[in-house]
Chains A and B, each alone.
Chain A
Amino acid sequence: MSEAINKSRASKFKQQKLPARQPILKPRSVIPTMLVLGIFFIVMGVIFVLSVDSVIEVSKRYDDKCEIGSNCTITFEPPSDMESPVYFYYELTNFYQNHRRYVKSRDDTQLGGEILSYEDAEELCDPIISLDGEEKDSMVYQPCGLIVWSQFNDTLTVKNGDEVLDFNENGIAWESDIESKFQNPDPKPDPDSPTTLQSDFTEEHFVIWMRVAALPTFRKLYAVLENGKLEQGKQYSVNIENNYPVSSFDGQKSLIFTTTTWVGGKNTFLGYAYISLGSILFLIGLGFLLKHLIKPRELGKEKYLKWE
């Protein structure tokens, strides 16, 4: 054989002779893994559930208690002391922010401070494009699009008696959004112009609203109590300027006050999922173990190689 050919072909790769390992699923590895994993999952699940249990959450529906366009007050009592930070959310249900028609109806460059031409707006912001549908650049909504147009516009104030609590409405949006995604155009839109739907693009409730929710039931952060606490047994009230209609789409509006723990809010789903999965794995592992103990199967025995 000529040397050159020999050399060029002799690589282990070309000859399919690469050294290799062949892992197989053996009882010795599978059964212990399943048992250990099962226990681990159950433990993790329990820890999770216990942690979530320490979260105190107060939820008050208010759309059925307030007339649209009116002011009203909702009161609540924390079941126990709620240490700061206490997060204050509004919750909407049956609101498909992730509906395709809704999600797409916005223009990120406009929100980033650029002035939009009518053509661009027409392409991206349908159906909320310009005032009275006029095809002029100057008539384009600032900013355009369904999301902006359908912005949540209730105002919520938390009070203890007459004292307004120190709920901070700043610093609630993502820093990354405020810094690089949302910018006011130059000049700033005139708040009185009928084409202006939002006069300050970096207003944090607006920024939060623009981050569309993934699922039709969602909470959006409204304010944070950074210092102090909500005390058990005390009556707190929320003053609501009730503007946002939800009855037309069978939606509900609620107020949420919650504390958090290392795994967030009051959501035990993950914990129970861990526990169930752990139990199933453990049980199946146990089954495999029994099967293996009662009727073991030897590995690699010649007798199994006889067939038919």
Chain B
Amino acid sequence: MWRKKNKETKRLSFANNSLLNERYVKNQVTNSKYKWWNFIPLNLWEQFGRFMNQYFLLIACLQLWTEITPVDPETTWGPLAFIFLLAALKEGLDDLNRHKGDKKANERMYHIIRDEEPMDVMSKDISVGDILYLEENMESPCDIVLLSSSNEDGSCYIQTANLDGETDLKPRLGLPNTASLGTEEALCSFKGVVECKPPNPDIYVFDSRLKMQPDDSEEDILSLSVSQIILQGVHLRNTEYVYGLTVYTGNQSKLGMNKLTPDTKWTKIDKQINRTTLFIFACQFLFLLIFGITGGVWKSKTGKDKFYLYYPEDERWFQPLVIPLRFMLLMSLMIPISLKVTLDICKYIYASLINWDLEMWDDENEMGAHASNTAISEDLGQIEYIFSDKTGTLTENIMEFKKCSIFGKSYGTKHRNSSALEDPELLKDINEQRPEVILFFKNLALNQSVVPSYPETDSDDEDDLSDSDEEQEIIYKASSPDEEALVKAASKLGIKFTERKTDLLTIVVNKKPIQYQLIQTLEFSSERKRMSVLVREVDSRQIFLFTKGADDVILERIRDGQETTKTIKHLERFAKNGLRTLLCGYRTVSEEELEEFLKDFKKANNEIENRDQELEKVFSKFEQDFILLGATAIEDKLQDEVPQTIRILREAGIKFWMLTGDKFSTAVQIAKSCNLMPYDGLLFPIEGADQGEVENSLDKISEEVQNLDKNFYIIVQGSTLKIALGEVKHKLLNLSLQASSVICCRTTPQQKAGVVQMVKELGKMTLAIGDGGNDVTMIQTAHVGVGIAGREGLQAVRASDYSISRFKFLRRLMLVHGRYSYYRTTFLAQYSFYKSIFFCVIQLTFNFWTGFSGMSFFNSLSVMTYNGVFTAIPIFFFLLDKDVSEESVYLNPHLYRDSSQGRFYNKKTLFWWFIRAIYQGVLAMVMLAGIYQGRGYIYPSDGSGIDNQLLSMTGFTIVIQIQTFTMALETKHWTFYNHFIIWGFLVFFYISTIIANTLPNLEIYYLLFRAYSDPIHWLSCVLINTIVLAPVIIAKYWSAQYIPNRADLVREREVYYRSRGLPINAADATILNNLNSTEGRVIPAYNSSDFGINGILTPFKDCFGKSDFEELNKKDPLTTLIIENIQNDILKKKTQEVRTQRELDKKKKNVGLNKSNSDDSSNSDSSTTASSTTEDEDDELNN
């Protein structure tokens, strides 16, 4: 391998000896790309790296050669310079922001020890060998080796969210030899040397060595590993302070080495447009050859005989190239130079429309949607697969204690929605101080890692304070929302956790404080799936071991012979309702047992290797023989409108997969309650512990589903997924694509990303949505990443392309913004190609009458204004266009398939646009040549014939008219602005040409005054416009009438009803709103389907599906109108009915009447219709 001479082979970091560290770079972080002096050359260089820019530059340069240029060179130089300027401006502004960010990071102050002296320096001046002092919650500015911390053992906790998106706290442990260096004095005299690898991007490996003294012998060398390193960008948590020796600085840190400029995302439609451009480029080359050769032949066969052309006898060597090059320049307009800029501006506006949208505004969070990536809105319209996180995305991530079962007695189970906290039974039992109930809540209050805190109160409030002392609110700070919910619940019921001092926990029971000494916490881990605390009641000196955890692990640890069936039954019911369940147990511990445990624990804890396993063994031995106290059930509320949103998205033809870290049963429950799968859905789990088993499982399922005419669903666990993503990936993929949905539970962030990657590699358009740090990789992997600005911080949002505050806004983001963006971009792009080709076709056709000499029909001014003004500006207002209304898209989610299946931009549509351009161009030119033929055309008032410039301007006028009418024809949604711009530009054209015609210096001086006073001019305008546009209108009419697509039909329906003043769409929308705004549905939303869109459509189906109505319709227009009015009434009634029904339901629930019956009856009618529509939908999905 080729190496630089002075390449660093190993890095030595000397503490307190800056001389020896001088060769390493300082901690200056640079994310910016340019400096002020290299901006212009570097930016130009970059811009010319793009093929299209090179091409246009070539064209512009060729235009400088007067021999070949058909028009003035400004026609290309002008736009090119403008485009470059715009791009440079954008780059420059972006870089300026990066500069600002860098400056902020670089100028942050840090405390360090250098050369035996403590000092404060800016981040950018930290160098290798400095001993850095970090306080809690500070971000490490560079990579350091942990020496000591505020803890005696030199341990600390860090959060690596900036590196890998993981939010959990990771322990780091200083070596015992350095842990004692707790003071600055000690550190000042520390002379250790760290020897490590040269800077490298591997964040999981840090194999290096530490010498306590520079001259230590080999034997005294201590080895360092990842558990001593704190990387740049990492936050220090739960530790007062640490000291560390700097090893990698600036951009050489592990984070710096990992920094890749994120690839610019190209949308699918961008790629298609690029392909089209290449295709046109190829066509251009073909035409260039054809016309170039024809021109050459004409020249040598005929041209040379024409004395008036005065061809020299012998020509220069380059002469044969002249004609082809002329045609190349003539056709260079075929690729619209402004397309990229136009689309960039449009994309920016799409993004702004998303940012502005008040319908995606969340009052609660005071937040709207935000597009951080302004370039990929069209992709939102092309999504085929959605990968969603569960917690915080589909659910609120607000845990609420809902139900419990204590010693076989269940509370809060009156009906689905009732809470145990309000259950009079439970309140009574607590009032009576029933021991098992109190013990149960003591468990919840003690067995946790929550920190209570009291909000600071103003002195004014002091009087009130004394009165309401007990009422004073305690704020519980918990890392897990589940724990918070449990402690809160206990507190509400009077078993109040009030204080945590190092090893003293205080709870208040019945207004009496009880103190417990915390002997040991047996912490929660995802492997252990339980947490226990060992406490001693201070007064009674009794020792308790409280535990809570997943049902499977707790059940195998309870004392034999206990009655558990009731509890398990309750537990299952809770789980079925989509609640998160835990089992609780306790036992008393004798002093001997405690002694033995502490001895074992100490021994295990001193183990250096396998410490974790040893500890687990000790814990496991100790956590036995529990008495089962009962079960808790916590509800993670579904976000509002989640089932409806998922339903609409699935009706839109999007596959919705759920990837969650939750366990199997919870995942399935949530999937059912949020409409991901029906309650009786066919669910196949993929299982297996090794590749063979997984493969078997896959094969078995594939076989089973082969002849299945039903929808089925797949669920797979993370551990299995890991195996399945290996060798048997194709089988997994095969099966997954057949399934209606796939649920992945217990997945790690990498596995989530792996699943997305798997589907992405198939060429499917993917969207990932999540809210937490564990979704970051998935969000970055998918084509479009959406972050929910939720409770789990902002990491997902920062990594995402779009952020929304509620899941339900995804519907609007995709169905409205995505679809419209796609629709608009496809039109803009195709129209741009069309108008360019159309223009070039005229130019080429004209050359049939010029001896193929590469003559431009239009003059330079026309060429420039055509591309730069008259067609470039009005099309921006196509940004207001809508093919169908927003409401219609919601009501007919199928319409999303228009965009997701690329119906507006494909070979077929392009073909018709190209045909249209060619037909119109050729015909317009032929007509002009016919009307203004040399034999016969006479300007009536003075007898002049036609001249080249007059014909050119007449042609140009007609071209502008054609384009105006074309834009008008293609606009489907006429707002005031559209009228203003489209007709305004035609007027503007006339005014500007009239002004130009009065300027004697211009070529076109006086030309159009002649034209306008000639009846032939106006007659030919009418003729040519009609002849080129009539076929388009006829084709449009025919296809809309007799081979309509979905959008055509929906639009027709909108227009039809609106024209009769029937508020069909308005009614649709009202129903939709009414149904959607019913208060946030809670799990389980058994009959959420009746909220679904098919449920809403049901009244319409009732109204319009009747065949007798249709029969009547045909006969008599008057009857039609009457019937429609009736239908309208029915509709209103239905709406009213639905509304009142809802209100009734609500009231019933509020009153709390015992109404499982009424629930059923109220839902029965709608659910039957809903089920029938479900079948319809299923059939369709199968097709």
Q: Is A202 an interface residue (CB 8 A)?
A: no
A216 to B1014, CA, bound (A): 22
Q: Can you report 17 residue pairs joining A to B where beta carbons are below 8 Å apart?
A: A37-B1026, A41-B1026, A99-B855, A176-B1005, A212-B948, A214-B947, A215-B951, A218-B934, A219-B934, A262-B1015, A264-B1014, A269-B936, A277-B1027, A297-B1041, A300-B1055, A305-B1050, A308-B1183
Tell me the complex Cα distance, A300–B1000, Å.
57
Complex interface: stretch among B127-135, B190-198, B794-802, B1029-1037: B1029-1037
Q: How far does the alpha carbon of A301 sit from the alpha carbon of B1052 in the complex, in Å?
A: 9
Nearest B residue to A27 via CB reads: B1041
Measured between beta carbons, the chain A residues less than 8 angstroms from B1005 are 176, 180-181
Q: Which of B934, B1104, B1113 has the most chain A CB atoms closer than 10 A to its own CB?
A: B934
In the complex, which residues of chain B have a beta carbon less than 8 angstroms from the beta carbon of A216? Answer: 849-851, 934
Tell me the A116-139 residues at the B interface (CB within 8 Å): 123, 127-128
What A residues does B932 contact at CB under 8 A?
214-215
- Min CB distance A112 to B, Å, is 9
- Residues B995-1045 near A (CB distance < 8 A): 1000, 1005-1006, 1010, 1014-1016, 1019-1020, 1023, 1026-1027, 1030, 1033-1034, 1036-1037, 1040-1042, 1044
B933: which A residues are within 8 A, CB to CB?
Answer: 215, 217, 267, 269
Count of chain B residues with Cβ under 8 Å from any Cβ of A?
108
Interface string of B917-938 (1 = CB under 8 A from A): 0000000000101111111111
Nearest CB of A to B24, in Å: 48
B972: interface (CB < 8 Å): yes
A304 → B minimal CB distance (Å):
5
Known contacts A18-B977, A96-B309, A150-B308; A297 and B1042 CB within 8 A of each other: yes
Which residues of A sit under 8 angstroms from B1015, Cβ to Cβ? 262-263
Please indicate the chain A residues that have their CB under 8 angstroms from the CB of B356 in the complex. 9, 14-15
CA distance in complex: A85, B944 (Å) = 13
Known: A101-B853, A305-B1049. A16 touches B880 (CB 8 A): yes
Point out the residue from B880, B940, B950 that lies within 8 Å of A262, measured CB to CB: B940
Instruction: Answer whether residue B460 sits at the interface, using C-beta atoms and an 8 A cutoff.
Output: no
B773 to chain A, nearest CB (A): 28
List A contacts of B1051 (CB < 8 A).
22, 24
**Contacts A21-B974, A263-B1019, A270-B1016; A214 near B309 (Cβ below 8 A):** no
Partner of A9, one of B358, B1041, B1055: B358
Please give, as numbers and ranges, the residues of chain B lying within 8 Å of A264 by CB-CB distance. 936-940, 1014, 1016
A261 CA to B936 CA in the complex, in Å? 12
Q: Does any Cβ of B come within 8 Å of A91's Cβ?
A: yes
CB of B308 within 8 A of CB of A95, answer yes
A298 touches B938 (CB 8 A): no
In the complex, the answer to whether B1046 meets A85 with C-beta atoms within 8 Å is no
CB distance B974 to A22 under 8 Å? yes
Contacts of B1016 in A (CB 8 A): 263-264, 270
- Which residues of chain B are near A176, meaning CB under 8 Å? 1000, 1005-1006
Interface residue B381 (Cβ < 8 Å from any Cβ of A): no
In the complex, B1100 has a CB within 8 A of chain A: yes
**Does chain A have a CB within 8 A of B363?**
yes
Q: How many Å lie between the Cα of A16 and that of B880 in the bound state?
A: 7
Q: Are B854 and A100 in contact (CB under 8 A)?
A: yes
Give chain A's interface residues, CB within 8 Å of chain B: 1-2, 5-6, 9-10, 13-16, 18-25, 27, 30, 34, 37, 41, 44, 48, 85, 87, 89, 91, 95-103, 123, 127-128, 146, 149-150, 172, 174, 176, 180-181, 208, 211-221, 224, 245, 248-250, 258, 260-270, 273-274, 277, 281, 284, 288, 297-305, 307-308
Determine if A213 and B945 form an interchain contact, defined as CB atoms under 8 angstroms apart: yes
- Bound CA span A96–B852, Å: 10
When distances are taken between beta carbons in the complex, the residues of chain B under 8 Å from A215 are 849, 929, 932-934, 946, 951
Q: Smallest Cβ distance from B843 to chain A, in angstroms?
A: 12
User: Is the CB–CB distance between A98 and B1049 below 8 Å?
Assistant: no
Cβ-neighbour of B310 out of A22, A128, A270 (below 8 A): A128
Q: How far is the CB of B1102 from chain A (nearest CB, A)?
A: 11
Contact in complex: B1019, A89 (CB < 8 Å): no
B1137 near A: Cβ within 8 Å?
Answer: no
Out of A10, A20, A150, A249, name the residue touching B358 (CB < 8 Å). A10
Picked from B307, B366, B972, B976, the residue with its CB within 8 Å of the CB of A1 is: B366
- Contact: B309 with A267, CB < 8 Å? no
A290 CA / B399 CA spacing, docked (Å): 68
Q: Smallest CB-CB separation from A29: which chain B residue?
A: B1037
Q: Does B903 contact A (CB under 8 A)?
A: no
Q: Does B66 sit at the interface, judged by CB under 8 A?
A: yes
Find out whether the CB atom of B855 lies under 8 angstroms from the CB atom of A220.
no
Q: Does B771 contact A (CB under 8 A)?
A: no
Q: Is the interface of B mostly helix, strand, loop or mixed?
A: helix
Which 4 A/B pairs are nearest by Cβ-Cβ distance? A300-B1056, A267-B936, A265-B938, A302-B1104
- Smallest CB separation, A1 vs chain B (Å): 6
Q: Does B220 make an interface contact (CB < 8 A)? A: no
Are A211 and B936 in contact, with the CB atoms below 8 A? no
A245 and B306 alpha carbons, distance in the complex (Å): 10
Chain B residues near A302: list those with CB within 8 A: 1053, 1100-1101, 1103-1105
In the complex, whether B892 has a CB less than 8 A from a CB of chain A is yes
**A260-B938, A264-B939 given as contacts; is B308 within 8 A of A98 (CB)?**
no
A130 to chain B, nearest CB (A): 14
- Chain A residues near B309 (CB, 8 Å)? 96, 99, 101-102, 146
Compute how far the CA of A97 lies from the CA of B1033 in the bound complex, rounded to whole angstroms.
Answer: 38
A37 to B1034, CA, bound (A): 13
**Chain A, Cβ-Cβ closest to B849:** A215
Q: How far is the CA of A146 from the CA of B932 in the complex (A)?
A: 25
The answer on a CB contact under 8 Å between A269 and B930 is yes
B1054 within 8 A of A: yes
Contact: B855 with A261, CB < 8 Å?
A: no
CB distance from A149 to the nearest CB of B (A): 8
Max chain B C-beta neighbours (<10 A), residue from A16, A87, A97, A261? A16
Across-interface contacts of A15 in B (CB, < 8 A): 356-359
Q: A15 to B369, alpha carbons, bound, how many Å?
A: 13
Is B361 close to A, CB under 8 A? Answer: yes
Contact status A270-B850, CB under 8 Å: no
- The distance in angstroms between the C-alpha atoms of A123 and B66, with both chains bound, is 8
Question: How many angstroms from the CA of A177 to the CA of B185 in the assembled complex?
Answer: 98
* Known A9-B368, A100-B855; further 16 A-B contacts with Cβ < 8 A: A20-B973, A22-B974, A85-B943, A98-B948, A101-B853, A150-B310, A172-B944, A213-B947, A214-B947, A218-B946, A249-B302, A261-B940, A264-B1014, A269-B930, A288-B1037, A307-B894
Q: Does B61 contact A (CB under 8 A)?
A: no
Q: Is B463 an interface residue (CB 8 A)?
A: no
Pairwise interchain contact B850-A96, C-beta atoms closer than 8 A: yes
Give every chain A residue within 8 A of B1050 (Cβ-Cβ). Answer: 305
* CB-based contact B1105/A146 at 8 Å: no
Q: How far, in Å, is B1001 (CB) from chain A's closest CB?
A: 9
Q: Looking at the complex, which one of A5, A245, A274, A305 makes contact with B307 (CB distance below 8 Å)?
A: A245
Nearest to B1000 among chain A residues (CB) is A180
A100–B938 contact, CB under 8 A?
Answer: no
Selected from B931, B976, B978, B1000, the residue in CB contact (under 8 A) with A267 is B931
* Residue B279 lies at the interface, judged by CB distance under 8 Å to chain A: no
CA gap between A23 and B1005 in the complex, in Å? 40
Q: Report the Cα distance A16→B881, complex, angstroms.
A: 9
> Considering the chains assembled together, what is the distance between the CA atoms of A22 and B1005 in angstroms?
41
Chain A residues within 8 Å of B138, by CB: none
Q: Known: A1-B366, A270-B1023, A298-B1113. Is A24-B944 also a contact (CB below 8 A)?
A: no
B939-980 residues with Cβ-Cβ distance < 8 A to A are 939-940, 942-952, 972-978
B1023 contacts across to A, CB distance below 8 A: 270, 273-274, 277
The complex places the Cα of A208 from the Cα of B950 at a distance, in Å, of 13
Chain B contacts with A in 1100-1128, Cβ cutoff 8 A: 1100-1101, 1103-1105, 1110, 1113-1114
Interface string of B194-213 (1 = CB under 8 A from A): 00000000000000000000
Asked if B938 and A25 sit within 8 Å, CB to CB, the answer is no
The listed residue (B312, B853, B1041, B1180) touching A127 by CB distance below 8 A is: B312
